[in-house]
Amino acid sequence: MASLISNNEGLLIQPAIQLRKGYLVAFPTETVYGLGADASNESAVIRVYEIKRRPKSHPLIVHIAEKEKIIYWTKKIPDYVFSLIEYFWPGPLTLILNKSRKAGDFITSGQDTIALRMPQHPISQTLLLNFQSLGGHGIVGPSANKFGRVSPTTANAVLAELGDSLSVNDLILDGGPCSIGIESTILNCSEETPVLMRPGAITREMLIEKLDRDIDIYDSEGTGKPVRFSGNLKHHYKPNAQVILNEQPVPGAGLIALSNYTTPKGVIRLAAPHDEFEFAKMLYHALRLGDEKKIDKIYVFEPENNGIGIALRDRLKKASS
């Protein structure tokens, strides 16, 4: 069982030391909590796969402390990428780039690209900077859940999800609830035209506006070069309960819907967000709450298909499939 460190234990030197020693540290980001390991330490990264029960064929995101670290991990960076990181980093945007020789096959699943992200949460930033000052180059951070399940958005959710599998030398940092609540936008920048792989809080429209160029959307049924990544599986982000979309909830079932939707008699309201941002922030917590209450069906009324609503509908489609 790992120790849980609360957010007022400030300097985060010890967690950075534990990472450099090869232990795992779960940490908060603005999107969801990640399960961190030293991206240059193969045996630590292998433990991440084992603890998550994640197939080896699904590569990991490397989190970096500074924009400049992009040079260490990648090569042949298209020019437009510099505008992107200028504007959107630190933040909830992951970029897929051609990897340098520094990036081991054990983080990229043998693919010739690597996913990089510079998070914005003060705890992840401090942790990354301390880790870098100890000679580290990046921290892998898949969402801190078992493969295929709901991402954790609080330290307690990480503890419930992975606590039994972590050892006494591993840590879970508590940074409170994540402010965004769903995983980062993933943009593949390994070719001349960027491709949106996973929608998130940074929307395609925001990217197009900043770049002043078009962005393709990844088509998993298309004939393009096959790319392996778990968010692209049909089933993902799944609680124990069955998730049912846009249908009238029955008594005894759970309900997640915007606050203007009244809870029918006998239905257990799990979240009543006021807008789509609050929806994102509450969604995973509400799905977990449904499981805690041993509810077997959770009804969700989807938000509209624009802005962060596009990402929410993407996650809900997979959670309900």
Q: Give 96 or 298: the residue with its C-beta nearer to ligand TXA.
A: 96
93 binds ligand TXA (CB under 6 A): no
# residues contacting ligand TXA (CB under 6 A): 27
115 binds ligand TXA (CB under 6 A): yes
Residue 254: contacted member of ligand TXA, Mg ion, none (CB under 5 to 8 Å, by partner type):
none
Q: Give 31 or 143: the residue with its C-beta nearer to Mg ion.
A: 143
143 binds Mg ion (CB under 5 A): yes
Q: Give 30 or 276: the residue with its C-beta nearer to ligand TXA.
A: 30
94 binds ligand TXA (CB under 6 A): yes
The two three-digit tokens of residue 193, written as one number = 């035209």
Closest CA to 80 of 184, 186, 187: 187
Binding mask 182-201 for ligand TXA (x = CB under 6 A): -xx-x---------------
Q: Give burial (CB, 10 Å; 0-12/13-18/19+) of 238.
A: middle
Among positions 29, 41, 153, 154, the unique one binding ligand TXA when judged by CB under 6 A: 29
Give CA–CA dist 299/284, Å, rounded: 14
Give CA–CA dist 289/321, Å, rounded: 20
Minimum CB distance to ligand TXA, residue 316 (Å): 16
**Range in contact with ligand TXA (rule: CB under 6 A) among 13-21, 58-66, 73-81, 218-226:** 58-66
CA 85 to chain centre: 18
Give CA–CA dist 78/74, Å, rounded: 11
The answer to whether the beta carbons of residues 182 and 283 sit under 8 Å apart is yes
Among positions 120, 143, 179, 203, the unique one binding ligand TXA when judged by CB under 6 A: 143
Q: Buried b / exposed e across 62-91, counting CB within 10 Å, b at 16+? A: bbbbeeebbeebbeebeebbeebbeebbbb
Minimum CB distance to ligand TXA, residue 225 (Å): 11
Give CA–CA dist 138/43, Å, rounded: 15
Closest CA to 315 of 243, 257, 221, 248: 243
**Range in contact with Mg ion (rule: CB under 5 A) among 130-138, 141-149, 158-166, 248-256:** 141-149
What's the N-to-C CA distance of the chain in angstroms? 33
130 binds ligand TXA (CB under 6 A): no
The answer to whether the beta carbons of residues 96 and 84 sit under 8 Å apart is no
Interface of this chain with ligand TXA, residues 207 to 246, rule: CB under 6 A? 227, 229-231
Sites of contact with Mg ion (CB under 5 A): 143
* Contacting residues toward ligand TXA, per CB under 6 A: 29, 31-32, 34, 58-61, 94, 96, 108, 111, 113-115, 117, 119, 141-143, 183-184, 186, 227, 229-231
